Structure 1
Amino acid sequence: MVRYTKEHKQETRQRIVATAGRRLKRDGIDGSGVATLMKDAGLTNGAFYAHFESKDDLVAAAIADQLHAQHANLVAHAEPGPAGLEQIVRWYLSPQQRDDTADGCPNAALLDEIGRTADATRQAYTDGVLVVIDGLAARMAPEDPPSARVKALSLLGMMAGTLQLSRALTDRQLSDDLLEQGLRNALTLIGAEARP
């Protein structure tokens, strides 16, 4: 029997989590079975239980990882203050973001299913979204981020709902118009000028 190092096991687990995150956003939690998630990672079903206790355990880890990545790749790299907040809003409510579910926002892709998951998954989501929210709030009110936390949560809710609805529409022009109006609404909420 081959023995793997702790580092190898951790790298394998991370590969499973990352590939599962993409699949979950593309096909949903209910539409992604363990066999498919493991195949995406290039592993067999038998390897699953060496890394996770259950599918719920993997889903919680994948959602936390996706929110961490969203924060690290977008929120943490945006400019500080209002300019960075506007960058985030413009990126989020773009046609590119709408069209890229696998690499796009986990909120817009999974929010409806997360509400029906186990407490551990919902807690992983809550913990991850609070990091994103705090990054938004720090740009809304640099002098007192906690005072802007609910406003930042409202902004994220507005953006995620707009993105979800724009993805659901088959009329491309209506979807584009919705994104445009959502962008204007979000910029108004944060006090930025609504320019193209």
Structure 2
Amino acid sequence: MPRYDAQHKAETRRRIIDTASARIKRDGIDGSGVATLMSDAGLTNGAFYAHFPSKSDLVANVLADQLRIQHERLSTLQPGRPAIEEYVREYLSPYHRDHPESGCPNAALLDEVCRCDDAVRQSYTEGMQAIVNGIATNLSPANPAGARATALGLFTILIATLQLARAVSDPALSDEILAAGVSNALTLVDAGPAQS
């Protein structure tokens, strides 16, 4: 059996995380077995354990990675309402609603994360807090702690709105939910702490 160097192993691990993130966000944690996840990555089941001790460890890594990407996106925004409005509109867009595999793990997986083990929930908690802190910093760069409640509220509106818009069977109602979510999110931003 060939031995692979550290770079090859890191690239393979990255491929597993990337392909697993799309599958897990589309089909759910419980709906994504190890065999399917490894097949998506073009690997055998046996190769899985060379990279992750358990499916739970893979899920924790997928969440950490996906939430890090979201946090990095927030970090590139200019402070203030225009950038937050763009972020809100992008998050609550029909495209994001219709493509969970390429979107945020929060709305796609939140209902399952609460039933996962402590390692997955800890990974989620750390990533979620980084995003909320990023939103708070954008809302009030001089006083992010003062904007934390608004940031938590905004984060909650975004996730709940997207989950509800995905859950209903009526496309017009789903669009109405997204539009209401945008309006409610921006009302909260405008009523929040003074921006600086």
TM-score by length of 2: 0.94
Paired AA for residue 76 in structure 1 = S
How many angstroms apart in 2 are the aligned matches of 1:71 and 1:14? 19
Identical amino acids, percent of aligned pairs: 57
1:50 positional shift: 0.2
Whole-angstrom distance in 2 between the partners of 1:154 and 1:43: 41
Deviations 1:115-140 (A, max 9, x none): 00000000000111111111100111
Match of 1:145 in 2: 144
Report the residue type matching 1:29 in the other structure.
Answer: I
* 1:80 and 2:79 are equivalent in the alignment: yes
Q: Distance in 1 between matches of 2:139 and 2:76?
A: 16
Residue of structure 1 in register with 2:37 after alignment: 37
Q: Report which stretch shifted further, 150-159 or 107-116.
A: 150-159
Q: Which runs of 4+ in 1 moved over 3 A?
A: none
Counterpart of 2:27 in structure 1 is 27
1:127 paired with 2:133, answer no
- Equivalent pair of 1:78/1:87 in contact (CA under 8 Å): no
Q: What's the counterpart of residue 60 of structure 2?
A: 60
**Distance in 2 separating the partners of 1:185 and 1:82:** 14
- Deviation, structure 1 residue 82: 2.2
Gaps of 5+ in 1: none
What residue in structure 2 maps to residue 187 of structure 1? 186
1:101 maps to amino acid? P
Q: For the residues of structure 1 that align with 2:105 and 2:23, how far apart are their CA atoms?
A: 11
**Number of aligned positions between the proteins:** 191
The 8 Å contact of residues 159 and 186 in structure 1, kept in 2 or not, is answered as: yes
